[in-house]
Amino acid sequence: DIQMTQSPSTLSASVGDRVTISCRASQSISGWLAWYQQQPGKAPKLLISEASNLRSGVPSRFSGSGSGTEFTLTITSLQTDDFASYYCQQYNSFPWTFGQGTTVEVK
């Protein structure tokens, strides 16, 4: 299985901050990476697919980049609703696997 490793595990930030979350794959996954946001007690919500393709309805302050084994999720000007956990998921090789998550908390 492809292992997905996110860093950091927890990130403390303030409203208006620029936030960057990293995701590393144990082998190349080309650009087959998705990002999800999960609020406490809720299901994950798809934010980005194909590493950088923003899904419909997702605010433009979210962006994704990367290819191969190194990927980044960036949130420019963090908003209150953005304090949540974020997960990457690879879909290059079966079984599909997720990172362990990054929690963005209030500083």
Partner 1 sequence: QVQLQESGPGLVKPSETLSLTCTVSGGFMSTYNWSWIRQSPGRGLEFIGNINYIRLTDFNPSLKSRVTMSVDTSRNQFFLLLSSVTAADTAVYFCARQVYGVYIFDVWGQGILVSVSS
Judged by the rule CB under 8 A, the positions of this chain that interact with partner 1 are 1, 32, 34, 36, 42-46, 49, 55, 87, 89, 91, 94-101
**CA of 52: how far to CAs of 60, 95, 106, in Å?**
11, 22, 26
Q: Minimum distance between the CB of residue 98 and partner 1, rounded to whole angstroms?
A: 4
Instruction: Give the distance, in angstroms, between the CA of residue 54 and the centroid of all CA atoms in the same chain.
Output: 12
Phi and psi at 69, nearest 5°, equal -120, -10
User: Is-contact 20 76, C-beta < 8 A?
Assistant: no
Q: Which is nearer to partner 1, 83 or 91 (CB)?
A: 91
Q: Minimum distance between the CB of residue 83 and partner 1, rounded to whole angstroms?
A: 19
Q: Minimum distance between the CB of residue 27 and partner 1, rounded to whole angstroms?
A: 17
Q: Which is nearer to partner 1, 16 or 57 (CB)?
A: 57
